[in-house]
Amino acid sequence: MTDQHEQHSPSHQFERGTDGPKVIVVGVDGSDSSLRAAAYAGGLARRQRALLAVVYVQPVLAAGAALGAPVAETTDEIAEDLVAYIREAAERVKGIFEVRWEFHTFRGDPYSGLVKAADELKADAVVVGASERAGHRLIGSVAIRLVKAGRWPVTVVP
């Protein structure tokens, strides 16, 4: 009996990937594929009793590209809209879809921002949406780069 109890006691030396993910990072940018990724990651977090960390990476543009455009304000609005959307979705399914979640914003390009988020949040798994259009090939390359980094299990949701 004691041996079995000791196996299930929490350990501060948790090894990533051994007991299933405890922290799942999902990248969202407002696209349909990223919202599907968030829904998938939410289901995974619920089944694994993991923390769902929803991450929005605010783009940082070169100084010349931002002239005359309130870029920071626009990306802050996108982040606020995403939080409102996720909260609303969570309220609609409250009780059916119990999951612990947090929302984080990071600044930078999507790949670097997600890597930083996954490192800082001690992610055990990363979920991203697949590229939807030719204009969003960057998201596809983010998924490929995350997989090639080989630091976390990566799920790409179509």
Interval 38-62: pLDDT, tens? 889 988 998 898 999 988 888 776 5
7 has a pLDDT exceeding 60: no
Could you tell me which residue, 85 or 36, shows the higher pLDDT?
36
Average pLDDT value for residue range 73-79? 69
Q: Residue 32 belongs to what H/E stretch?
A: helix 32-48
Q: Kindly tell me the number of DSSP H helices and DSSP E strands found in the chain.
A: 5, 5
118 has a pLDDT exceeding 80: yes
The answer to whether 99 touches 78, Cβ cutoff 8 Å, is no
Q: What is the mean pLDDT of the chain?
A: 75
